Chain A
């Protein structure tokens, strides 16, 4: 079955000017987001995952710019393609921001206005992005509150953010995003500031809303452990590039890139008590300098010689799964995947 692409990114480059130096934050990413799917983008801090998605909304800092490639949005009602990377005017962004692509930030404490009731804040989005009278908008707002799992919406409507717990605030933020009636919802570390139990509930909620409002979701996180439950596909980012992408099954049961292996091995869920937990040596590369070869090579104990010389292209493992590593080249020596993959496949956790 051919899936409909709603967002297509090709060879995207983003650079920042910092004190006369150029920081190459995104180094040629190509990626599709399909309609109705949840795509997780996983990477360490500094891997560029937030910058990447901010570029779809025109939210890059002033010193950052798209220096190559493009991102095209196909979600408009009349099916015309919009080249996001070509938008220059703030006025044109306003047509897209929220209404087509909405974003949920990490920290629910700082993304709400403490001086306004949450009802007003959600209604503001409804009035701005949907047609209708104030009375209708209020009715819809109450509906959104119910949809995101907030009980007694009539009472909660008149309350202020400080009267809500962290998890409830994140639900309110999600309600605001949904009220914009978007096609794409970008969730930037939506659960990092929350408890494990609340995290599970919020992820569950995102899955439900995706069905109900026919959303396409990009879920950004640094924790590979949390996405197995939620994501249909997973993209692993390292040093401004997607090094491996595939379905959840591809990534968790059959990962091919050494960096994905390292991320999986360092999860405390698979750690054995009394033994050291696997940790990745070294630090991510300096993106001010030109990265030569495979960016992960200096931290990879099993790196091949060619990894330091030439950057690997994508090798396709299956129609849904590809990875940028020379290990998949037919001339490469056979490398054994780490034991963690076997543990996961056999379901031998907990």
Chain B
């Protein structure tokens, strides 16, 4: 069965700065996100994962390649009509709930700001109703609408951030490290909320994080990104149980497990990029196992194919 592609990124490049000071943050990234799935983008700080998210949101301009949403190009110059559609249908949830809410505005305004911009003629009564509903949807009380962000805990603020996305009736949400700044117990609540919303409304997620243990729990497919390049991509369970690229294996070995004996025997793997000799034999994107892609050259591909043979 052919699944419907919601978002496709083709050879995406993002460059900061000009001429001598040029820095290429994203180097020719390709991936597809299917409707209704949760796609994970995992990498360390500086890998370009957030930049990709922001390029899709069109907060950052791309310098090359294409971003297709429902088959239409959305980067570069686009028609006003498509622009409005994209603004409404693609929403973002940010990492830091302290920094992403306007401290001087009431929750009521924060949640409905986007709505007022898209549906200009909306009546005051309907706006209030929609805000109340959005707050209820994320497990907050409608009374909270008249309060300021500083009156809330980190977990509640993150819920306000989610309510602000939901009110737009989005089809696609980019969640950029939505739980990294939260306590463990609150983390679980926010993750459950995101999963529940997805089930109820068939929303597609692009989930950006540095922690594979969270990724394993929430995503369907994962792409591992390093220095602006995707090095490995597969379905979540496949990637975790049969990681191929040495970088992915290093990331996996770094996950802390709540098991003292296992942890004591664990050998921490540190990824050393100099193990790849790409001087003559150039790396390219290839399928090593079924639906499991890795960036490798010919010689490495042979080694990788034998990795899980025995």
Contact = CB atoms under 8 A, between A and B. Distances in A.
Contacts of B240: 350
Contacts of B212: 196
A45 B154 contact: yes
- Counting chain B residues whose Cβ lies within 8 A of the other chain, the interface size class is 35 or more
A201 B189 CA distance: 29
A325 B154 CA distance: 29
B123 interface: no
Interface string A264-283: 10111111010011111001
A347 B188 contact: no
B254 A269 contact: no
Contacts of B191: 268, 271, 277
B258 A277 contact: no
B187 A266 contact: yes
A199 B236 contact: no
B5 to A, nearest CB: 23
A248 interface: yes
Interface in B148-181: 153-154
A204 B211 CA distance: 18
Nearest to B251: A197
Given A263-B184, A268-B188, A347-B262, A225 B45 contact: no
Given A200-B268, A263-B185, A266-B187, A349 B259 contact: yes
Given A197-B250, A268-B213, A347 B259 contact: yes
B87 to A, nearest CB: 32
A228 B184 contact: no
A196 B210 contact: yes
B251 A349 contact: no
Interface string B243-270: 0000000111111111111111010101
B216 interface: yes
B258 A195 contact: no
Interface in A175-208: 195-201, 203-204
Interface in B197-223: 210-214, 216-218
A279 B255 contact: no
A312 to B, nearest CB: 21
Contacts of A227: 256
Interface residues of A, number: 45
Given A273-B236, A276-B195, A224 B254 contact: no
Given A252-B260, A268-B214, A269-B258, A201 B270 contact: yes
Given A195-B44, A276-B192, A44 B259 contact: no
Contact of B257 (A44, A198, A228): A228
A262 interface: yes
Given A44-B185, A197-B251, A204 B258 contact: no
A224 B250 CA distance: 21
Contacts of B154: 45
B216 A222 contact: no
Contact of A196 (B188, B255, B259): B255
Contact of A279 (B46, B185, B213): B185
Residue with the highest number of chain A CB atoms closer than 10 Å, among B210, B217, B236, B268: B217
B185 A280 contact: yes
Contacts of A263: 184-185
B188 A277 contact: yes
Interface in B265-296: 266, 268, 270-271
B143 interface: no
A246 to B, nearest CB: 11
Contacts of B260: 228-229, 248-249, 252-253
Contact of A225 (B44, B236, B257): B257
Interface in A10-68: 44-45
Nearest to B213: A269
A291 interface: no
A223 B255 contact: no
B2 interface: no
Contact of A199 (B46, B186, B256): B256
B183 interface: yes
B299 to A, nearest CB: 26
A263 B259 CA distance: 14
Given A276-B195, A277-B188, A222 B268 contact: no
A304 interface: no
Interface string B57-82: 00000000000000000000000000
B192 A277 contact: yes
A293 interface: no
Contacts of B192: 276-277, 279
Contacts of B188: 266, 268, 271, 277-280
Contacts of B211: 196, 268
A82 interface: no
B258 A270 contact: yes
Contacts of B268: 200-201, 204
Interface in B112-162: 153-154
A166 interface: yes
A270 B262 CA distance: 14
6 closest Cβ pairs, A-B complex: A279-B188, A229-B263, A248-B260, A200-B254, A266-B188, A271-B217
Given A197-B251, A268-B188, 17 more contacts: A196-B256, A197-B270, A200-B268, A222-B183, A225-B257, A227-B256, A252-B258, A263-B185, A266-B184, A268-B211, A268-B214, A269-B258, A273-B218, A277-B217, A344-B258, A349-B258, A350-B255
Interface of A: 44-45, 165-166, 195-201, 203-204, 222-229, 248-249, 252-253, 262-264, 266-271, 273, 276-280, 283, 344, 347, 349-350
Interface of B: 44-46, 153-154, 183-189, 191-192, 195, 210-214, 216-218, 236, 240, 250-264, 266, 268, 270-271
6 contacts: A199-B254, A201-B270, A266-B185, A268-B211, A268-B214, A349-B259
